[in-house]
Amino acid sequence: MIKFTNVFKAFPKGGLALKDVSFHIAKGEFVFLTGHSGAGKSTVLKLVYAEEPVTSGEVRVSGFSVAELRPRDVPMLRRRLGIVFQDFRLLEDRPAEENVAFALEVTGARRSSIPARVMRVLTQVGLAAKAQAYPRELSGGEQQRVAIARALVNEPSVLLADEPTGNLDERATRGVFQLLRDINASGTAVVMATHDLDLVRQAPYRVIELQEGALVYDSAVDEPRDQTATP
Amino acid sequence: MNLTIREALLAFRRAPLLSALSVTTIAFSLFVVGLFGLVAVNLQNALRSVAERVEIVAYLLPGTPIESITLAEKDIEAFPEVHSAVYVSEDSALARARAELVEFRDVLQELERNPLPASIEVKLKPQYRDAEHVRDVAERLGGFGFVDDVRFGRDWVEKLDRLRQIAAAVGLVVGAAFAVVAIIIIGTTIRMAVLQRGREIAIMRLVGATNGFIRRPFLLQGAIKGMLGGLVAVGLSYGAYTLINRWLIQAAFFSNLQALAIVGFGALIGLFGSAASVGRHLRRV
């Protein structure tokens, strides 16, 4: 599904962001990507959705070789991914349902199929009743649910979440995390970058930890370690 | 409604002032082109009616036998440039002079001898009614032994032709300058729209919109503004034409095809302005 092989990523002015990172995430898996700010979590995700070019090594994402991807094929890759951010990235000038429908419209979905598909995902994230609310009328947790609905509406095989609970209070965090678990339970792989160790401890999922751009721990490969240690 | 069209039209609601500015500049640049175009069209019409009257007259030596003249007439009519060649005898020349020059009727009545020479009046086919062909045919006519003198309105034709060329050239140059300004303004409004909607464009990219899909509403928006500008320009030109017609001279307006060409040109300016801008700025957001 997602396979990194000896991946290096250098930014022109920022030095090495990733150093020789290799891992393989299988279909349907739930993986935490952990590490301090600046450890390279977001960079890993950006390479997956081809926002940044790979410096060296190989990145394969559901059949695409990202390093060899032509710019015109990037949209095709992204249609197979769902992406969620800490800051939600909703369009403020339109209600929840249109924010979700937007993702279908830009990919050229059949127009008649859009309303039903939008309502289905909004129901899935528990926001069917607030379909017509504008983002400013929703709480942070609700806004993130809309963002997740938008990410899901194209039926991606992987959901990438970059600190999805970073802006949320504890209760909203639990709700959003439970939603991600439900989504994973229905077969979608979830890669969640987070530095919230409480969340990581709550669930028995695989953990990949980065430190200054290097992969220092992968629970699928390495020995399980003391849960109280600082990742 | 299709998303592309909807997004393109939304631009007018999002930035009504900027949209009005782009439409107005295109309208004014095309209005200038239109005014010079009207001058050129009317000069062209005037030239055509003058040119129709342009003829070459070959005056014949007195006593030329009628047989030679009839033969020459046939020869001249066979020239590829010539539309018609008509023999005017001394007598009919005098009769015409009496009819046309009323003031001199008394003088002409009292003549004992007809002073007017016989002539052959040659008219050219429309496509050969320019200075060069006229001179060419005149020279050939001069080659006939019995032709005394050849007259033609060379200066007239050349001057009118020059005037029409100047009007067309000035219209093109001034119009082009204004078109460049219009393109720059359209480009700027598109640039502002792209930057203003940077967030939205970034989100479109994230959910897998192609660059073409993102670009299309901007291009359509430019073309619509250009088209509106063109329509306004045709309207303004029509207003100017009506005023001129009422107060100054009887003038002609553009044909439907020419008016359509102005609107089409406006659409092209708009499309070009946005295309030049959108690609450059999309890469930055």
B96-142: pLDDT as tens digits: 777 777 777 777 677 777 778 888 888 888 778 777 788 888 888 88
Residue B33, judged by CB atoms within 10 A of its CB (0-12, 13-18, 19+), counts as buried
Q: How many CB atoms lie within 10 A of CB A60?
A: 17
Query: Which residues in chain B are contacts of A79 at CB distance < 8 A?
Result: 207-208
**Which percentage of chain A shows pLDDT scores above 70?**
97
The mean predicted confidence, pLDDT, of chain A is: 91
- B204 contact residues in A (CB cutoff 8 A): 102, 106
ipTM given for this complex: 0.84
Which parts of chain A register pLDDT below 50? Answer: 229, 231
Mean pLDDT is lowest, of A159-173, A182-196, B197-211, B223-237, for B197-211
| B60 three-state secondary structure | strand
B93-B97-B103 Cα angle (round to 5): 165
Whole-angstrom Cα distance, residue B67 to residue B84? 18
Q: Assess B15–A contact: CB distance below 8 Å, yes or no.
A: no
CB contact under 8 A, A107 and B209: yes
When CB atoms are compared, the residue of B3, B202, B209 closest to A75 is B209
Q: Is there a contact between A78 and B200 if contact means CB atoms under 8 Å apart? A: no
Indicate yes or no: CB of B3 within 8 angstroms of CB of A89. Answer: no
More confident residue, A156 or B71: A156
**A185 near B CB under 8 A:** no
Q: Using the beta-carbon criterion (under 8 Å), do B207 and A71 form an inter-chain contact?
A: no
Q: Can you read off the two tokens belonging to residue B96?
A: 């015409």
- How far is residue A140 from each of residues A15, A180, B18, B165, B221, measured CA to CA in Å? 34, 16, 35, 69, 35
Q: Which chain B residue has the Cα nearest residue A103?
A: B207
Q: What is the pLDDT of residue B85?
A: 85
Residue B217 confidence class, pLDDT cut points 50, 70, 90: confident
Question: What CATH architecture does domain B55-152 belong to?
Answer: 2-Layer Sandwich (3.30)
Closest CA of chain A from B210, distance in Å: 6
Residue range B85-92: mean pLDDT, rounded? 85
* B199/A76 touch (CB, cutoff 8 Å), yes or no: no
pLDDT over 90 at B19, yes or no = no
Per-residue confidence (pLDDT) for residue B153, from 0 to 100: 64
Spell out the domain ranges in chain B: 3-48+159-282, 55-152
Residue B213 sits at the chain A interface (C-beta within 8 Å): yes
Across chain B, where does the E strand assignment appear? 55-60, 82-88, 119-124, 147-152
Closest chain B residue to A72 measured between Cα atoms?
A: B210
A45 touches chain B (CB under 8 A): no
pLDDT at res. B155: 63
pLDDT at B262: 86
Closest chain A C-alpha to B19 CA, distance in angstroms: 20
Of the candidates A214, A217, A191, A222, the one whose C-alpha atom is nearest the C-alpha of residue A17 is: A214
Q: Is the pLDDT of residue B53 over 70?
A: no
For chain A, say whether B10 makes contact (Cβ under 8 Å): no
Query: For helices B198-206 and B211-247, what crossing angle results, to 10°?
Result: 140
